Amino acid sequence: MSSAPLAARLTHVAGPLFFPVTAYGPDGTVDLDTFRTHVRRGVDAGAAAVFACCGTGEFHALTQEEFRLVVAAAVQETAGRVPVVAGAGYGTALAVQYAKLAEEAGADGLLAMPPYLVVADQEGLLKHYAALAAGTSLETIVYQRDNAVFTPQTVVALAQTPGIIGLKDGYGDLDLMQRIVSAVRTQLPGGDFLYFNGLPTAELTGPAYRGIGVTLYSSAVFAFAPDIALAFYRALEAGEDGLVNALLDRFYRPLVELRAQGRGYAVSLVKAAVRLQGLDVGGVRTPLTEPTAAHVKDLAGIIASGRALLEEYAEGERA
């Protein structure tokens, strides 16, 4: 764990945010050695942060002891090189318990996922996240999606809540996000509240989110193809529209269309892709299911297409 505040470490990043999958062994138990390898490879490849035990990491499927062990493994493997953010969710009491476990394991911050099952009003959501943020000394990013969608005024209140440093948007309503950004900017001038594009394959909407000032994003692709994810990140940062659009057309859009063909593919397809790259991280835990053999074959073709495109561009630069 670094002594530098998480918000400061995430304000100026030089790569995608890495959401590792949680590895399981043949008997279905957590495989910490393989998970460590997965994290180490991601950090060595250029990840700006590690978000452990979040959506892609099957937070919902882990016991508290498994959660603690996996977060601690991520902290030990990163050794302070990049921040480690851990998921926290369920109802308020349980979310605080997970937050305390993450703090004990050495995490730098929390990604607060939607409360379990219930559909709360804005006042209830605000109280929930305020209680979670007050439960530890860790800085907290609130995840907007599903049953936790906020009005601009609620986000203004969240931004004023001690311990809450940002909003990750997995809802995908750009009109709402523009109004949120505008409200916070207007009512809290000079603030440093952070925004993240947290859609399942965030690169697809990266140019659109960048247009409203949201430049940080989670990259599921980085978990299995860091070379492609980094090439896209750097092209987007540099304004290389040709490469950005080519990757969107030949890699990211086909990947998103494949992901849409199965429930839970935002997680299970990523784990399948990691296995395709030679690291056996196991399958997903129920209630998620594995992609079909045909879809895994399609996935391999999409990854190959992305890498072929990068080679074409590299050859063009060498010519």
Range 14-30 average pLDDT:
96
Any idea what DSSP says for residue 148? B
Q: Is 313 a catalytic residue?
A: no
pLDDT score, position 319: 64
Tokens of 48: 């700006």
pLDDT score, position 151: 98
**Residue 308 falls within a domain, yes or no?**
no
pLDDT score, position 317: 78
pLDDT tens-digit map of 105-157: 999 999 999 999 999 999 999 999 999 999 999 999 999 999 999 999 999 99
Average of per-residue pLDDT values in the chain:
96
Our count of domains for the chain comes to 1
**Residue 260 falls within a domain, yes or no?**
no
Does 2 score more than 60 pLDDT?
Answer: no
Contact (CB, 8 A) for 279 and 38? yes
**Residue 26 falls within a domain, yes or no?**
yes
Tokens of 303: 């990854």
Q: Which region, left, alpha or beta, applies to residue 301 given φ > 0 means left and ψ of -120 to 50 means alpha?
A: alpha
Tokens of 195: 């925004």
CATH number of the CATH domain containing 147? 3.20.20.70
Q: Which residue, among 181, 140, 113, has the nearest Cα to 5 in the 3D structure?
A: 140
pLDDT score, position 97: 98
CA distances from 144 to 112, 188, 234, 292 (A): 9, 20, 26, 30
3-state secondary structure of 124: helix
CA distances from 107 to 32, 83, 142 (A): 16, 8, 16
Q: Which residue, among 15, 23, 12, 7, has the nearest Cα to 203 in the 3D structure?
A: 15
Name the pLDDT band for 3 (thresholds 50, 70, 90). very low
- Residue type at position 3: S
Q: Which residue, among 87, 78, 6, 86, has the nearest Cα to 44 in the 3D structure?
A: 78
Q: Which residue, among 56, 46, 60, has the nearest Cα to 23 in the 3D structure?
A: 56
Does 1 score more than 60 pLDDT?
Answer: no
Tokens of 297: 């074959």
Range 274-292 average pLDDT:
98
Compute the residue count for the chain: 319
Domain extent at residue 12: 6-236
Q: Is 168 a catalytic residue?
A: yes
**Residue 203 falls within a domain, yes or no?**
yes
Matching residue, tokens 């959660």: 67
Q: Alpha-carbon distance 285 to 60, whole Å?
A: 10
- The four Cα atoms 74, 78, 82, 87 give a dihedral, to 10 degrees, of 0
Global pTM? 0.95
Any idea what DSSP says for residue 250? I
Matching residue, tokens 């929930």: 128
Does 181 score more than 70 pLDDT?
Answer: yes
Does 89 score more than 50 pLDDT?
Answer: yes
**Residue 128 falls within a domain, yes or no?**
yes
**Residue 17 falls within a domain, yes or no?**
yes
Catalytic residue among 129, 143, 252, 265: 143
Q: Alpha-carbon distance 105 to 157, whole Å?
A: 29
**Residue 183 falls within a domain, yes or no?**
yes
196: exposed, middle or buried (Cβ count in 10 Å: 0-12, 13-18, 19+): buried
Q: Distance from first CA to last CA of the chain, Å, rounded?
A: 45
Cα 61 to chain centroid, rounded: 17
pLDDT tens-digit map of 28-48: 999 999 999 999 999 999 999
Name the pLDDT band for 4 (thresholds 50, 70, 90). low
Contact (CB, 8 A) for 74 and 102? no
Catalytic residue among 168, 252, 265, 271: 168
Q: Alpha-carbon distance 129 to 287, whole Å?
A: 27
Contact (CB, 8 A) for 215 and 10? no
pLDDT score, position 191: 86
pLDDT tens-digit map of 52-80: 999 999 999 999 999 999 999 999 999 99
pLDDT score, position 106: 98
**Residue 139 falls within a domain, yes or no?**
yes
- Residue type at position 239: G
